[in-house]
């Protein structure tokens, strides 16, 4: 199978490596000509995924048309806030029968669209059956290290999902199927917001109790928004919900937790972002999630607290105090 991977960041590179190891013919697109040339010359992505030689059947190009030409499977792995423009560039060059798997996680600023919404808007509802969305606990570096990993792939139609599962599956990467696109997308996007909160708490030195409370109550507010948007509640108990949330809130490889850590230790968001090469999707997603919660009239206090810290410059300790002194209520209410 010819596979096009759109995006040469850490996750795009890791998935490209995996698919090449599964004996597919893989072409990776990089928006940067310099990055594409460096990967070709060194056979390694020294910028975003250093330390992992890439298989010979993985090629890299700066030309989108070359990567997409006659592709049967397209894996989309670019930051959410630039996804729309890249999809629009892809559209005229996309083979009509290609299956598309989005591995991006986030909510678009302004429109409050999930990746699924953007793809359907640009490609048309007639193409929904070939759209799939990958999410779950999967740090790029650990995928590249071939550590056992399990993820979920959701689609509007399950006709082709077996083909998608088989393309990715191997002895270290297991893929579960779902028809809950909204739930899988929301879980992947909102866990980054809660990971920022967990990082802030850890940066303040507030201990394991605090982190556990944030993860658990964070999951509750993710599920509330999911229910309001038509997601299946059990999705949030699975890999794309609890699984990804725990990983991102506790793992040292989590970019969003790392941003939160630095903010909890006293740095401003601007200071932290100035020193980051890779994108922390939770930062723009916090703004979008805050606005989406208000639009849907869903109570999301942790998301609101993170928003106040990032965008209203509230002190982390004051935001945590407000969370703890809210009106008392039933846990399942």
pLDDT, one tens digit per residue, over 137-192 is 999 999 999 999 999 999 999 889 999 999 999 999 999 999 999 999 999 999 99
In the CATH scheme, what architecture does the domain 184-324 have? Orthogonal Bundle (1.10)
12-55 pLDDT per residue, tens: 999 999 999 999 999 999 999 999 999 999 999 999 999 999 99
60-74 pLDDT per residue, tens: 999 999 999 999 999
pLDDT at residue 158, as a whole number: 87
List of long-range contacts for 225-231, beta carbons under 8 Å, 24+ apart: 225/186, 225/190, 225/289, 225/292, 225/293, 225/296, 225/298, 225/300, 226/182, 226/183, 226/186, 226/187, 228/296, 228/297, 228/298, 229/182, 229/186, 229/296, 230/182, 231/180, 231/182, 231/183, 231/186
Report domain 2-179's class.
alpha beta
Burial of 230 (0-12, 13-18, 19+ CB in 10 A): exposed
Give residue 321's pLDDT band: very low, low, confident or very high (50, 70, 90).
very high
Which positions ≥6 away from 28 have C-beta within 8 Å? 4, 5, 7, 8, 12, 13, 16, 39, 58, 59, 60, 61, 67
Residue 113 pLDDT greater than 80, yes or no: yes
Greater pLDDT, 278 or 49: 49
Residues belonging to the active site: 191
Domain residue spans of the chain: 2-179, 184-324
pLDDT at residue 333, as a whole number: 62
Locate 13 and state its tokens: 């590179």
Report if pTM > 0.75.
yes
């Amino acid at each position: 199978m010819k596979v096009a991977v759109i995006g040469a960041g850490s996750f795009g590179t890791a998935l490209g490596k995996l698919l090449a190891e599964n004996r597919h013919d893989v072409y990776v697109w990089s928006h940067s000509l310099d990055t594409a040339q460096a990967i070709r010359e060194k056979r390694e992505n020294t910028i975003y995924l250093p330390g992992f030689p890439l298989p010979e059947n993985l090629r890299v190009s700066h030309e989108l048309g070359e990567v997409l030409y006659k592709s049967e499977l397209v894996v989309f792995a670019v930051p959410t806030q630039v996804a729309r423009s890249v999809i629009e560039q892809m559209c005229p060059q996309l083979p009509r029968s290609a299956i598309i798997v989005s591995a991006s996680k986030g909510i678009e600023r302004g429109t409050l669209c999930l990746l699924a919404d953007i793809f359907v808007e640009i490609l048309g509802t007639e193409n929904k059956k070939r759209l799939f969305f990958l999410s779950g606990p999967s740090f790029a570096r650990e995928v590249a290290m071939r550590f056992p990993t399990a993820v979920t792939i959701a689609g509007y139609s399950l006709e082709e999902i077996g083909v998608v599962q088989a393309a990715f599956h191997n002895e270290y990467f297991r893929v579960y199927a779902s028809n809950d696109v909204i739930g899988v997308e929301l879980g992947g996007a909102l866990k980054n917001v809660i990971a920022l909160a967990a990082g802030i708490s850890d940066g303040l030195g507030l201990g394991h109790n605090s982190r556990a409370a944030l993860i658990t109550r964070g999951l509750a507010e993710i599920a509330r928004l999911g229910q309001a948007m038509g997601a299946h509640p059990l999705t949030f108990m699975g890999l794309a919900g609890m699984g990804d949330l725990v990983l991102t809130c506790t793992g040292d490889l989590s970019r969003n937790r790392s941003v939160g850590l630095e903010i909890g230790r006293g740095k401003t968001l601007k200071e932290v972002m100035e020193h980051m090469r890779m994108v922390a999707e939770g930062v723009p997603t916090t703004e979008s999630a805050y606005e989406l919660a208000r639009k849907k009239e869903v109570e999301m206090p942790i998301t609101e607290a993170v928003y106040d810290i990032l965008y209203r410059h509230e002190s982390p300790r004051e935001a945590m105090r407000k969370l703890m002194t809210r009106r008392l209520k039933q846990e399942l209410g």
